[in-house]
Chain A
Amino acid sequence: MTSASDAPCRVLVVWCPDWPDGDARAFEQVVTAVEGLCPRVEVLYPGACAVGARGPARYFGGEEALAVKITDAVACHGFACRVGVADGVFAAQLAARAPGTGRAAHAGRAGRAGRAARAGRAARAGRAGRAGTPDAAVIVPSGAAMIVAPGEAPAFLAPHPVSSLGNPELADLLPRLGIRTLGDFAALSAAEAANRFGAQGALAHRLARGLDPRPLVPRPPSADLSVSTPFEPPVEQSEPVVFAAKALAERMHAGLAARGLACVRVQVRVICADGQEFTRLWRHDGLLSALAVAERVRWQLGGWQAAHSGAAEGAGDADEGVQAGGITLLRLVPDQLVRNTGHQLGLWGDAVINDRVARAALRVQALLGHGSVVRPLLAGGRNPADQVTLVPFGDAADPLFPSGRPWPGRLPAPAPATVFPVPLPARVTDESGATVTISGRALVSAPPARLSAHGEPWLAITSWAGPWPITERWWQPASARRRARFQLVAEDGSAWLATVQDGQWLIEAGYD
């Protein structure tokens, strides 16, 4: 495109309010619904997607008609959405969230809590404001679209607060300088904005003026920078495809880096043995790692799998396999190339895992599935099973229960060497053969004398300690537990951690 096309093209944004963070699989259904009407849907993030509006609007007889069609199609899948049409992705997103579209209860929140740090990625503004589940019960009335006429984007944007830019620094700084709305900000000259606020400010200024965040590369690249890998024989499972995608993404990134380019979006194209072809565009912005691209391939395959089996979203894992006779080709196409302004890698971090280990772990992941290879993180918690959080290799996560807190009631050292993932049912009796019970005041009915774990032969108990009552999360009825713990040593010298809950004895862990 030339500088004349600096003014962005017409964009339609579909935004699902209150989309739960990270539920990409379910969003795939929304994308499929939109894709039924217009090609080349771009997923901005799970919860919002964008399409070029010009062609489809002409086909369906106007932007209003197109918006109605899309809203209805999405509603047919049981999701509520709002639609905004404007010049450029940023304005269209704000339009979708503007009060007056659909049930605009939360529109005022748009962008205010934006945690995206880059103005260039202002498309992602306002993510943090969403929580809860998509309200499937409400069907948005048709005619719920906010349409900003061509050329009116600056006027539409002007009254919005500067916090809509999704740049916390600017959102803090500009109001203190007396610049409260995007209109005020856009009134500055571009050179002044760049001088005073740096590259981030320059990008934000472009957004505020209703332009695309960065100028697009003038012409399509002469070289084919897409990469692909064939699968022979066709692959039924999605795991090997995801595994190949990691290597493929690295190749694509290397090819782009050699030309000093970065892609705004990446198109993932999968061709099946029966000739079916699935493509999807994902936001990239030159920021995704190879692993993150592979992660998007996983979402995409998982989404089709769910759609194919007709099952409800969330049922089953992504590694259950892909229908349509297996996958024969995976292609990654970089889309919308821009000059790579570069970003600094962390000084420490990724290099900690050495190459051989990572390669071996990835190979096993390709064999068994992403979730089968886990790294343990030590966590807090009162029970041995709580004190470790398992994180799939390659993912980042925090422990479920923070460590370094007191955790009153936790077991003292030494820790048990065996922690059963599912506690074993057991029987513990006294001398007379009656099951040992614990009263509400934590009194033992009789000293435990014999133990049989999981149907094993009976063993005499030589030493025991307890009961140690523990009442957890009584404020949360679903996960509340009231138990008593014992340590038991059997005649063969083995030591066990047993608990009594609702009169039932369970072996939780073994110390040997």
Chain B
Amino acid sequence: MGAEVAEVAQATRVTQATQATQGPRVAQGPRVAGLPGLGRDDALVSGGAVPGAVRPGEAVPDDAVLPVLPALQGLLPGGLRRGSVVTAGPWGLLCLALAAGASAAGAWCAVVGLPQLGVAAAAGAGLDPGRMLLIADPGPGWPQVVASLLDGFELVLFRPPDRPSAQLRRRIEATVRRFGGVLVVAGEWDGAQTRLLVAHQEWVGIGPGHGRLRARRAQVVADGRGAAARPRARWLWLPGPDGSVTIADEASGSREPFWPEIRSTG
């Protein structure tokens, strides 16, 4: 059952990614990237569907959103809005899952301040290690490092070494908006547009003294500001038995084995 879901998810990932940028719900900015003066009015008109997506004087990126994994579509309708800051609670697989959809669709991803990132898990969730760059220790000058990276990378995955001041936060948010990337913060960020959190989790496949970790059933809750204000919750396999992230059944009674081989070997 779970394996089938995973397969379907694999097959639909690419199409979902393209749909996300073409769907009618998505604000399609005019293609005037890098020209702040031109097309601003058009951007405001067409960007009306997503209030505050584009502010005057800022460059309008090619597409207004970065795609997300199909499993996260229910939590983040449309995808990750460019120029936004997203938090995903303390460091964990959820941060990687957030970045995976865009990375699979061709975006470059920089990871700052997270020396403990498991690259194999990232690859399992759908990130392309070939389009990843790791900066384990940005040092005290991390705001400058993050700003430099936002210039080139569409996705920056970042854990702040300390709680940044409101002024510093606003400066970084302005940089995010100017370059049209997405900053995924592992930790606290007061001004985040979207917040995701693992509310409940349960590992399956393992018992007291037998089995092994097979998959995690996790309830992920998303809330935020503006259009994303209404909290949404979804059950996900985070990760599934093959390391990918897929939608899990709502019913919590799905603890029956979906890996027959373990039973047959006893």
Contact = CB atoms under 8 A, between A and B. Distances in A.
Interface in A331-346: none
Contacts of B8: none
Contact of B145 (A364, A414, A511): A364
Contacts of B135: 364, 368, 372-374
B92 A417 contact: yes
Nearest to A413: B243
B213 A364 contact: no
Nearest to B131: A357
A461 to B, nearest CB: 8
B119 A376 contact: yes
Interface string A483-512: 000010100010100000000000001111
Given A419-B117, A464-B206, A465-B206, A377 B129 contact: yes
B133 A375 contact: yes
Interface stretch (B20-28, B66-74, B160-168, B234-242): B234-242
A419 B203 contact: no
Contacts of B211: 463, 465
Nearest to A462: B208
Interface stretch (B41-49, B75-83, B136-144): B136-144
A303 B87 CA distance: 45
B248 interface: no
A376 B129 contact: yes
Interface string B145-179: 10011011100000000000000000000000000
A239 to B, nearest CB: 13
Given A361-B133, A375-B133, A512-B92, A387 B145 contact: no
A388 B119 contact: yes
B152 A413 contact: no
Given A387-B120, A495-B216, A417 B96 contact: yes
Nearest to B95: A417
B254 interface: no
B135 to A, nearest CB: 6
B137 A418 contact: no
Contacts of B239: 414, 417
Contacts of B201: 493, 512
Given A465-B211, A487-B212, A387 B116 contact: no
Interface in A317-372: 354, 356-361, 363-364, 367-368, 372
Nearest to B245: A414
Contacts of B253: none
A447 interface: yes
A390 interface: yes
Contacts of B134: 373-376, 390
Contacts of A465: 206-207, 209-213
B30 interface: no
Nearest to B111: A376
Contact of A374 (B91, B136, B242, B243): B136
A412 B212 contact: yes
B216 A360 contact: no
Contact of A384 (B91, B118, B141, B148): B118
Secondary structure dominating the interface of B: mixed
Contact of B138 (A358, A363, A368, A415): A368
A416 B202 contact: no
Given A364-B149, A417-B96, A493 B119 contact: no
Interface in B182-210: 198, 200-203, 206-210
A60 interface: no
A363 B148 contact: yes
Interface string A378-394: 10000010011010010
Interface in B211-263: 211-216, 239-243
Contact of B115 (A375, A421, A512): A421
Contact of A509 (B118, B124, B203): B118
B123 interface: yes
B93 interface: yes
B118 A415 contact: yes
Nearest to B242: A413
A420 interface: yes
A421 B203 CA distance: 24
B32 interface: no
B152 A511 contact: no
A495 B93 CA distance: 12
Nearest to B215: A414
Contacts of A373: 133-135
A511 B129 CA distance: 19
A300 to B, nearest CB: 26
Contacts of A509: 118
A367 B118 contact: no
B14 to A, nearest CB: 19
Nearest to B92: A512
Contacts of B130: 375
B149 A360 contact: yes
A413 to B, nearest CB: 5
A9 to B, nearest CB: 48
Given A487-B212, A511-B213, A378 B119 contact: yes
A361 B110 CA distance: 9
Contacts of A487: 206, 212-213
A464 B209 contact: yes
Given A359-B151, A415-B243, 20 more contacts: A356-B151, A357-B108, A360-B151, A363-B148, A367-B148, A376-B132, A378-B129, A414-B121, A414-B241, A418-B91, A447-B209, A462-B208, A464-B209, A465-B209, A465-B210, A487-B213, A493-B200, A493-B203, A512-B93, A512-B216
Interface of B: 91-93, 96, 108, 110, 115-124, 129-130, 132-139, 141, 144-145, 148-149, 151-153, 198, 200-203, 206-216, 239-243
10 contacts: A357-B153, A360-B148, A368-B137, A388-B119, A388-B129, A417-B92, A463-B208, A465-B210, A495-B203, A495-B213
Q: Give the top 7 A-B pairs by smallest Cβ distance, nearest first.
A: A360-B152, A415-B120, A417-B93, A414-B243, A414-B239, A388-B119, A415-B121
